Amino acid sequence: MTHIRPDADGLGAQLALHDALTAIGKKPRVAIASKLLPRYAFLDPQRTVIEDFRPSAFTDSDCVVVLDTGTWNQLGDFGKWLQASPLPRAVVDHHRTQDDLGGLQFVDITAEATGRLAYEVIGALGAPLSAGAAHHLFMAVATDTGWFRHPNATAATFALCSDLVALGARPTELYEQLYEAATLARFKLTAVALQRLAVAHGGRVAHTEVLLSDYAATGAVPGDTEDLINYPRGVEGVEIALVFIEQQDGGTKVSFRSRAADVSKLAERFGGGGHKLASGARVMKPLSDVRNEVLAATAALLGP
């Protein structure tokens, strides 16, 4: 299992571990607790591996491995099932924010991606690493480092990815599929978000927002908001970037990015968390209220 709104790191780690466990005679199953975003449909077009989580379908499980999150609020309905389950469980994650999910914790916040940790797990098991698994792990590591642009991309990252390419990973194919195959609707939604782009606190903060009505107006889907945070982050002079996304249940999802300030602590104030430079939160308040509260808290974090 991985977090709701699964991303390339969580999915890549899941699929690679599934491949390796199968190779050593286990019977792993991959599940997600929310919709698979359209941009990741290419990973399993026929959905023969990635299953939608349904409690009745997992009654014969022996254990649970949670990848790329260690917090209850990132598990959706699966979290309620896990809380009531007696099954042994383990968390494999690299985020600073952690809850006690009641099992083993393999957490390393120095890892650039959960894909790195899945690679280490596979090695510790003595399982073979197939070309397919290497491909999925490359995707996990490359995307969680912003395709090697972020500070978490180190010499060790490039060494790992060199090994993965030697084993069969196909970087060009991945990049084209992930970043050069967007729908027209996604571009239209991005255009709306760019029109709303604004700065605050003397240009040190940039923010934009997406409303529920924008999906019908552009033909986009909620998954098309992924990566929008890169636009406010790219504004000259900006130290903290924010994206506010209106949710169906009346709440607001907030994405935080920073160049130096610890936005994980800011996200935790609003019930979320994550990394020092990249975090998120979901707040059960209207978007306009959340925007005002987060901008005020951001000003306090930045200081004069």
Interval 37-49: pLDDT, tens: 989 999 999 999 9
Instruction: In whole angstroms, give the CA distance from residue 285 to residue 250.
Output: 7
> Ramachandran region of residue 126, left (φ > 0), alpha (ψ -120 to 50) or beta?
left
Going 92 to 96 to 100 to 105, the CA torsion angle's sign is positive
Q: So what's the pLDDT on residue 249?
A: 87
Instruction: In whole angstroms, give the CA distance from residue 244 to residue 282.
Output: 10
The amino acid at residue 174 is L
Three-class secondary structure of residue 276 per DSSP: coil
**Exposed, middle or buried, 248 (CB in 10 Å: 0-12/13-18/19+)?**
exposed
Residues 6+ apart with CB under 8 A from 114: 9, 10, 13, 67, 68, 92, 93, 94, 140, 144
The band of 7, judged by pLDDT with boundaries at 50, 70 and 90, is: very high
Instruction: In whole angstroms, give the CA distance from residue 184 to residue 231.
Output: 18
The band of 303, judged by pLDDT with boundaries at 50, 70 and 90, is: confident
Q: So what's the pLDDT on residue 175?
A: 97
Q: So what's the pLDDT on residue 176?
A: 96
Q: So what's the pLDDT on residue 285?
A: 96
State yes or no: pLDDT of 236 exceeds 90: yes
Cα angle 274, 262, 227 (rounded to 5 degrees) comes to 55
Q: So what's the pLDDT on residue 304?
A: 82
Domains of the chain, each with CATH number or no CATH: 8-179 (3.90.1640.10), 184-302 (3.10.310.30)
When the pLDDT of each residue in the chain is averaged and rounded to a whole number, the result is 95
Residue 115 belongs to what H/E stretch? helix 114-125
The band of 225, judged by pLDDT with boundaries at 50, 70 and 90, is: very high
| Percent of the residues in the chain that have a pLDDT greater than 90, as a whole number | 92
State yes or no: pLDDT of 92 exceeds 90: yes
User: Taking the CB of residue 194, how many other CB atoms lie within 10 A of it?
Assistant: 12
Nearest Cα to 10, choosing from 140, 103, 119, 129?
140
State yes or no: pLDDT of 204 exceeds 90: yes
133-180 pLDDT, tens digit per residue, is 999 999 999 999 999 999 999 999 999 999 999 999 999 999 999 999
Residues 6+ apart with CB under 8 A from 56: none
pTM (predicted TM-score): 0.89
Instruction: In whole angstroms, give the CA distance from residue 157 to residue 160.
Output: 5
162-175 pLDDT, tens digit per residue, is 999 999 999 999 99
Q: Which range has the worst mean pLDDT, 75-79, 124-128, 267-271, 300-304?
A: 300-304
Per-residue CA distances from 132 to 21, 127, 137, 169, 290 (Å): 13, 14, 9, 7, 42
